[in-house]
A and B are shown apart, each in its own frame.
Chain A
């Protein structure tokens, strides 16, 4: 479980995070939802340690991360896996080498054979058992995301962070990536935090959703509760999606006994 308490962050005097307090639960897909510029990415970067919050604390399973000793921060970081928006694969390495990289760096006690087995397992787990020798430039966007997930889980991460895992993907591939993230979260009982704008992801894998607006947490709940939430900003965000509007219309018409087919 990751606990975020009163996290604040400003850039050149402009507050981006205005005291965010929230909890990301273990074994669940925790979604950070919100429009562009609401502070989702900044919050994620503060949690994974790429940015230092101005104020507030972040706790990983009871261990405080912010302002702690470098050694403790390192220990926590080594339990973190992250899927970046652009996948961030090392383009000088093959797919297999990319997946092996965290093992090589973080678990020197593993033998070469053990590492190879683990890489094979992870690639198979994400459905890319035949792509190990390919270079990142030779694979599609969806495959890159899968490799990113395989790399994130290769060193048995406890916390998985995904920055817009569906960006640039077609709807079908997006659904597959969402399903993969959800399966991995449940299978390994890890704490997964996903930044998304995608309402498909929200209704598919949103076990716990946190809605950010202008640097504030306005709402949190589950995917079953979100459509009935009484927060105007959240309603506006949700119903800006044409698909959701259409689904809602069909739902209303069905309940009212109207059929316009």
Chain B
């Protein structure tokens, strides 16, 4: 494990020390933003809207004490969504979608000698293939998390209204009460850290794939597993440090 971590650090260093031209890096990053960000909007929207809806209904189900105002449901949906569900669940979903795609793509390029072809041309393959993916993830994860936050709250609103668990007025009152702007900053910091972890770990696993199609599949699975574990550990550490 220590050896792998050392290799991982050297891999990150190799990406940064000999970068390709800015124009090349920029174009590649924009392309990757489309792959990582735009192509993930649908799944993030679905997951976050339903998580918001389920959270609202389940909190309403558990809040039976008449002394607790109904607006607490909206307040709790907002806090849970912003602090935990939007950044963490979105990143875990993206670890599955984006992480496996990065690891599989790079692994296939490795076993079909496309990475070697870049190296022979004198191109730093790590910088050309991996750095844009990491930058794109760091740019797009926070945007997707903001989208997830908004859609979760909307999902909660719709579910609460449609099931009659909470009135629209109470929900909105709860959403607006005791708002702490720092929580948004905290969630965005988390999303940037998770973006780096998912993209770098998946790229590392894919880039060093050896063998054939079976190993590419294994690399994708390992990339997703390791990314999720890294997200959960980082989630705890960030909460302990920043809150």
Contacts and interface: CB of A to CB of B under 8 A. Distances in A.
24 contacts: A50-B119, A50-B120, A70-B18, A74-B122, A77-B119, A77-B121, A77-B122, A78-B122, A80-B120, A80-B121, A80-B122, A82-B117, A84-B113, A84-B116, A84-B117, A85-B113, A88-B117, A89-B114, A90-B117, A91-B114, A105-B20, A105-B121, A105-B123, A155-B121
Contacts of B24: 104-105
A132 interface: no
Nearest to B111: A86
Interface residues of A, number: 25
Nearest to A98: B117
Interface of A: 48-50, 70, 74-75, 77-78, 80, 82, 84-86, 88-91, 101-102, 104-106, 108, 155, 161
List the 5 closest pairs (A to B, CB-CB), nearest first.
A77-B122, A88-B113, A88-B117, A78-B122, A84-B113
Contacts, number: 49
Contacts of A89: 114
Interface centre among A78, A91, A105, A161 (most CB of B within 10 A): A105
Contacts of B23: 108
A84 B116 CA distance: 9
A78 B121 contact: yes
A53 B23 CA distance: 34
Contacts of A48: 120
A106 B117 contact: no
Contacts of A75: 122
A88 B109 CA distance: 8
A42 to B, nearest CB: 13
A200 to B, nearest CB: 24
B159 to A, nearest CB: 41
Contacts of A108: 21, 23
A161 B116 CA distance: 13
A104 B24 CA distance: 9
Contact of A102 (B18, B113, B114, B121): B121
Given A105-B24, A108-B21, A77 B120 contact: yes
B189 to A, nearest CB: 33
A74 B119 CA distance: 10
A77 B121 CA distance: 6
B120 A82 contact: yes
Contacts of A86: 112-113
Contacts of A49: 119-120
Nearest to B114: A88
A45 to B, nearest CB: 8
Contacts of A161: 120
A127 B168 CA distance: 69
A90 B18 CA distance: 22
A50 B114 CA distance: 12
Given A105-B20, A108-B21, A88 B116 contact: yes
Interface in B1-60: 18, 20-21, 23-24
Contacts of A88: 112-114, 116-117
A223 B152 CA distance: 74
Interface centre among B112, B114, B119, B120 (most CB of A within 10 A): B120
B96 to A, nearest CB: 22
A106 B23 CA distance: 13
Given A70-B18, A105-B20, A108-B21, A50 B122 contact: no
B208 to A, nearest CB: 14
